[in-house]
Chains A and B, each alone.
Chain A
Amino acid sequence: MTAAIFYILSAAALLATLMAITRKNPVHAVIYLVHAFFALALIFFILGAPLVAAWEVIIYAGAIMVLFLFIIMMLELTPGEAARGPGWQRWAPVILLSGSIVVCTLLLMTAEPQAGPGGPNFYASPRDFGYGLFKEYALAVEIVSFQLLFAAVGAFYVGRGERTRRRARGDER
């Protein structure tokens, strides 16, 4: 049962990725990629990583893809394309992917909890996770936090406005 759900979700993730990388409109690509990430999060849950699944949804689908959407909208990259073909042709992949993901979620919620704590399969509880992350890999966490700080500084430097740049050169008057 759970194995069948895994294969369905894998097909959904690969199909969504294929649709994403062939779209002309970047907004459509991002929406398909969000579908792929949802399917991937459910696969992570099946493989015994509930916390990673939650972060896949929160960080990737929620933060990074929304950042992509912001940039696409800010730069006005969407081509004003005319609608071609009947409407169901454009909506069919989205409805198919969303429906399969929702159905798989409901099946996983109602299925026997094979991947729960104490089951035969591997399951990483949040307690084990935090223990490993902040005890064994505390140095890596610190280094990653430094990297995030550097990225924030770098993004601010690259994205500073023309006014700040002129002031830095000293010809603002």
Chain B
Amino acid sequence: MIVPLEHVLIVAGLMFGLGFACVLARRSLIMILIGVEVMINAVGLALVGASAFWHNIDGQLLVVLLMALTSAEVSISLAMVVYLNRRKGTLDADAYNEMKG
């Protein structure tokens, strides 16, 4: 392995933290989804690093499945964003604080 696994995990952890901060701090639904994307990519980096560390291909296969699941998640969540924007005319997450349908 070219670099130690710890460094890969540190980078992945920092990136996950950035995505998590984005999800917690931003109030726009689009930015929350972008934070989720960042977190998923950090997980993929950790998986690829582990795959290279143990000389095992399973981690990379898991990343491919993760990409497929991410595309499903993004398609349905962006459809939800369009639907919510059509209903209330805003994408501020604080506007959706009641549960009455």
Q: Which of A44, A124, A155, A156 contacts B57, CB < 8 Å?
A: A124
Interface size class of B (residues with CB under 8 A): 35 or more
* A133 engages B21 (CB within 8 Å): no
A152 to B73 Cα, complex, angstroms: 10
- Binary contact readout A49-83 vs B (1 if CB under 8 angstroms, 0 otherwise): 10110011001100110011001101101000000
* B37 engages A33 (CB within 8 Å): yes
Q: Would you list which residues of chain A between 124 and 140 have a CB under 8 Å from chain B?
A: 124, 128-129, 132-133, 136-137, 140
A-B CB pair tally, cutoff 8 Å: 172
Q: Would you list which residues of chain A between 2 and 41 have a CB under 8 Å from chain B?
A: 2-3, 6-7, 10, 13-14, 17-18, 20-21, 26, 29-30, 33, 36-37, 40
Q: Is B14 close to A, CB under 8 A?
A: yes
A96 to B3 Cα, complex, angstroms: 24
User: Closest CB of chain B to A71's CB: distance in Å?
Assistant: 5
* A72 engages B30 (CB within 8 Å): yes
Q: At the interface, is chain B mostly helix, strand, loop or mixed? A: helix
Choose among A3, A60, A72 the residue with the greatest number of B CB atoms under 10 Å from its CB: A60
A118 to B58 Cα, complex, angstroms: 19
Chain A residues in 8 Å Cβ range of B31: 21, 26, 29
Indicate whether A55 sits within 8 Å of B52 (C-beta atoms), given known contacts A26-B28, A77-B30: no
Chain B residues in 8 Å Cβ range of A114: 2
Q: Is A115 close to B, CB under 8 A?
A: yes
Q: Is B80 close to A, CB under 8 A?
A: yes
Q: Which of B69, B74, B80 contacts A67, CB < 8 Å?
A: B74
Q: Is B78 close to A, CB under 8 A?
A: yes
Q: Is A46 close to B, CB under 8 A?
A: yes
Which 3 A-B pairs give the minimum distances between C-beta atoms? A151-B72, A21-B22, A155-B79
Enumerate 14 A-B pairs (CB-CB under 8 Å) in ascending A order: A7-B7, A17-B19, A21-B21, A55-B67, A60-B41, A64-B71, A64-B74, A74-B82, A137-B61, A144-B68, A154-B76, A158-B76, A158-B83, A159-B83
